[in-house]
Structure 1
Amino acid sequence: MRNVSIFLYEWKHFVRSPFKIVALLLFIIASIYGLQNGADLYEKQNAEIERINKEAKTEKETVVAYFENNKKGPENRPWVDVTTPFWAIWSTPTYHFKKPSPAIVYSIGQTEHYGFYKAIGTSSSPYDADMAKEIANPERIQSGTLDFSFVILYLLPLLLLVLLYNIKGREAEHGFLPLVFVQTGSKNWWILSRTAFYTLLLLFILLGLLIYGAMLTTVFNTENVFWQVFLWVSIYLLFWIIIYFLILKFGKNTVSNTLQMIGVWLLFAFIVPAAVQQWVSIERPTNLMVDIIDAKRDKTDEIYDQPNALTNEQLYKLYPNLKQTEVAKDTSRIKNVRRNSITALINNAMKQATAKVEEDNRYRNELITQTYWFNPLTYFQNKFNHVSQTHYDDYQAYRDNIQDLIDKRIEIMVLDIWNDVKVDKVKYLEYNKTFKK
């Protein structure tokens, strides 16, 4: 009964406070806006993926028509011969997508920092320029995108501050705090009960917002994702509740409590993340990907200009089976075959260059991970991103898959060229099936 009385008292106090009601309404509006942004991005990416798949299907049907009409390629490009492995694979439209998770409605994460589709060719790389199409608009980067996770991470603590700042302080300033303690029996219990009222109120509102977000996409069709998000949102809420409760317990007055709450929020929301970012930048400066640029430009020219014997040696090292092919023993045919296989060596050089970039990124991420114990906002942000599959690790796995497809494409092309494989409609459709992932 004592809890019910305190809850009723706090409810009356809440509904009589326009400032708190307005703050709560603004929080709800911001949350809905963030959820809509996530849902819009989800729909746009799915629509783009569908459009690209239709284009790829049209391209494939065009090439299939060449085989059915006994043609070797388009009439305006007589050098294209789709009956050879090189041009058949070159004419096989292949895309790899990072399909958006329905949970992107809750956290956009790094979605706008990377592309979500990649056209795979024999000269492609996971770090090509088209992998970053989403950041081509400087104004978009400057303005940023408000998503639900931002509202939770930065605005929820401010909302809590507004709801809790005058608990105990107002009573202490008016001089009837001892009477309250006599009536409730315990100072800590009274403060805890009033704080628990707003905790339950916010949990109920957050649950409603999460349900609204789930209705915008297909979150409920994804196993446990909804409850994972709700769990981490609840833990984050309790994290700030505990901090503010301790401030209220040991605070003297409303002004002092408010200043301490603002100070803690500024510390965790801005000062600590900024200091960590500065430390990481000093410890391991951002990789400007100079190695990739050099490999793409200088190393490519070097490979094309190197002696044929060295090219043969490098190709045999990559694909030992080439030595046993008939083409390898035919000096009159090996020249063109070797030329069409050089992309394998360029791809290998690019992989060595990208390994340095990925190692730097991995090291920087490990450094940030070590700061989680005093950098809670970054910790929770990464948790939200993991659940919504918008974390850096998700995009690293996406890049790894792209590289695997490139490797497979080049390997099949080189082996089929050296084995003098003749491509027909069946073989071409087999290429399409093999490269689809």
Structure 2
Amino acid sequence: MYRLAFKNFIRSKSVIIAITIFLLTGIISIIIGRQFLEKQQAAANAVTALQKEQINRNVHHIQDQFGLLMYYLRFAFINKPDPIASLAIGQQDVNASIQYLTIRGLEGQRYDTDLFNPYNQLTGNLDLSFVILFLLPLLIIAFNFNLLSQETEHGTWSLVSIQINKPIKYILFKLSIRLIVVLVLLSVLLTLAVFIIGLPLDEKLLAYTIIAILYVVFWFAVSFLIIVLRRSSAISALLLLSTWVLICLLVPAVINNFLTVRYPVQEAYSTFIKQRDGYHTRWDKSTDSTMQAFFKHYPQYSHYVWNSPKFNYMWYYAMQQLGDDESAAESEAMQQKLALRQQSASIAALFFPPMHAQLEFTDIAGTGLRQQLQFLDSTAVFHETTKLHFYPGIFGDSTVVGEDWSRHVPKYFRRSGAVNWASLVAPFVLFSLVLGTGGVYIFNRNGIK
């Protein structure tokens, strides 16, 4: 019977068309993900070659002024995406994955980003996560909206309820066929992603797969709850589509807008202004006050001679540092507000599985806001380390040829954080159980036998 019901379902032309379109869309999203990785790798290769070339060129032309040389040299810090980032591009849609910095003021550099086509920013990338989060529920709705109402409208439900002791088993039987079809589709797409992109079979891919499966189960639980209300096919479809719009589009938009208003980041502008003012106003202040403020920040450099008759690069880089010091409070406040946005969004997402799935996808892929903030923090550490390495050479007026320039190659950001399995699966399991239990209760309460 199961085999016959399965063949009857899968032979429908509308089902075949829906499956074909979904598979093609999924394959396109996988190819887009692979192109994203190739673009990121090409950018990393390009900046590696560029850094080597510009160091060699400037060292060749500027051999007697270490401070002047360091004004021009840039050093790359790369946030190289994991292969699984191709399935959930997230923040890397708009935020640069490469920081190409001088040792001058940090705050005026680390928020620079690439130029993007505004239309592409509006539409975003079609990655596999988008297909799963927004298109897969529509496929599930199309498969399930008339699962019970069709039997009622065709007059066959009364016959089924007489022949079967527990009619709810028949509903679950038909749902299981559709569930298997959807899970097979999902498995095909993930398998194709492994081969097309070259995804490693690791914990991240396992976590991504489990989220996708639990998300599918959640939507089948939603469908079950709606169809046992025994409304007409049109009303059931309307209810399911309204649910999709509500929890996939409307609720996340409302939460995002609320968090934007709740945690405004005016500091994004004031940080830039204070950094520039903190540096430029130093031209009009005494060099002594500038250097005393600098030595307060870095007492280890107070023994260097800075008040010589010739132009002193120590004073110049001290001004650059004081620009960052002036904007430090605003920069920290902005980072804290962005972190609060992420934390609040994660808490709110526990009550809305589509939003939770989206955040978990990007967390696993390393492309979420949390990872972007970690990258920016690590950028500050990288800038500080690079700066402190060159300060003695600048302040001591060292020879340029005395530095081993071959060692200065791009550095890579290393992400931290393991998969939290409990927080990952709990919301899906809880909501699926609640919806499933509610559906059984409604079914039995209505006396469908």
TM-score range normalised by the length of the shorter chain: 0.7 to 0.9
CA RMSD of aligned residues (A): 2.5
Partner in structure 1 of residue 423 of structure 2: none
- Alpha-carbon shift at residue 244 of structure 1 (Å): 0.8
Are residue 390 (structure 1) and residue 390 (structure 2) matched?
A: no
CA distance in 1, matches of 2:327, 2:386: 15
CA distance in 2, matches of 1:91, 1:236: 51
Residues 312-366 of structure 1, C-alpha deviations (whole Å, 9 max, x = no match): 22111111122234x25x6546955323432222233344332222122122222
**Contact 1:10/1:197 (CA < 8 Å) preserved in 2?**
yes
Q: Which amino acid aligns with 2:365?
A: S
- Alpha-carbon shift at residue 199 of structure 1 (Å): 1.0
1:285-434 alignment runs, 5 A limit: 285-287=264-266, 289-325=268-304, 327=305, 331-332=308-309, 335-425=312-402, 427-429=403-405, 432=408
Q: 1:11 aligns with which of 7, 10, 29?
A: 7
Q: What is the number of equivalent residue pairs in this alignment?
A: 412
**Contact 1:39/1:104 (CA < 8 Å) preserved in 2?**
no
Partner in structure 2 of residue 78 of structure 1: none
CA distance in 2, matches of 1:278, 1:414: 44
CA distance in 2, matches of 1:58, 1:149: 39
CA distance in 1, matches of 2:265, 2:317: 36
CA distance in 2, matches of 1:13, 1:218: 34
**Contact 1:295/1:349 (CA < 8 Å) preserved in 2?**
yes
CA distance in 2, matches of 1:82, 1:333: 18
Partner in structure 1 of residue 238 of structure 2: 259
Q: Secondary structure at the match of 1:95?
A: strand
- Could you tell which deviates more after superposition, 241-250 or 124-133? 124-133
**Contact 2:74/2:103 (CA < 8 Å) preserved in 1?**
no
Q: Which amino acid aligns with 1:432?
A: H
1:21-420 alignment runs, 5 A limit: 21-62=16-57, 66=60, 73=61, 81-90=62-71, 92-123=73-104, 125=106, 128=109, 131-134=112-115, 136-220=116-200, 223-287=202-266, 289-325=268-304, 327=305, 331-332=308-309, 335-420=312-397
**Contact 1:126/1:400 (CA < 8 Å) preserved in 2?**
no
Residues 260-287 of structure 1, C-alpha deviations (whole Å, 9 max, x = no match): 2112112111221122123223322354
**Contact 1:166/1:254 (CA < 8 Å) preserved in 2?**
yes
Q: Which amino acid aligns with 1:188?
A: I
Query: Gaps (5+ residues) in structure 2?
Result: 413-449
- Alpha-carbon shift at residue 150 of structure 1 (Å): 1.0
TM-score, length-scaled by structure 2:
0.84
CA distance in 1, matches of 2:232, 2:392: 78
Q: Secondary structure at the match of 1:343?
A: helix
CA distance in 2, matches of 1:336, 1:179: 92
Residues 305/411 of structure 1: CA separation in 2 closer, same or farther (3 Å cut): farther
Q: Secondary structure at the match of 1:132?
A: coil
Query: Gaps (5+ residues) in structure 1?
Result: 67-72, 74-80
CA distance in 1, matches of 2:32, 2:85: 9
CA distance in 2, matches of 1:377, 1:304: 54
Residues 343/32 of structure 1: CA separation in 2 closer, same or farther (3 Å cut): same
CA distance in 1, matches of 2:406, 2:27: 47
**Contact 2:129/2:361 (CA < 8 Å) preserved in 1?**
yes
Q: Which amino acid aligns with 1:273?
A: P
- Alpha-carbon shift at residue 126 of structure 1 (Å): 5.9
- Alpha-carbon shift at residue 292 of structure 1 (Å): 2.2
- Alpha-carbon shift at residue 36 of structure 1 (Å): 1.2
Residues 278/110 of structure 1: CA separation in 2 closer, same or farther (3 Å cut): same
- Alpha-carbon shift at residue 232 of structure 1 (Å): 0.8
CA distance in 2, matches of 1:172, 1:192: 16
Residues 88/281 of structure 1: CA separation in 2 closer, same or farther (3 Å cut): closer
CA distance in 1, matches of 2:372, 2:351: 26
Q: Secondary structure at the match of 1:374?
A: coil
Residues 336/364 of structure 1: CA separation in 2 closer, same or farther (3 Å cut): closer
**Contact 1:49/1:117 (CA < 8 Å) preserved in 2?**
yes
Residues 126/195 of structure 1: CA separation in 2 closer, same or farther (3 Å cut): farther
**Contact 2:25/2:131 (CA < 8 Å) preserved in 1?**
yes
Q: Which amino acid aligns with 2:87?
A: Y
Q: Which amino acid aligns with 1:226?
A: L
Residues 387-413 of structure 1, C-alpha deviations (whole Å, 9 max, x = no match): 211111222122122211221222233
- Alpha-carbon shift at residue 190 of structure 1 (Å): 1.0
CA distance in 2, matches of 1:273, 1:211: 30
**Contact 1:341/1:414 (CA < 8 Å) preserved in 2?**
no
Identity of aligned residues (%): 20
- Could you tell which deviates more after superposition, 285-294 or 401-410? 285-294
- Alpha-carbon shift at residue 156 of structure 1 (Å): 0.8
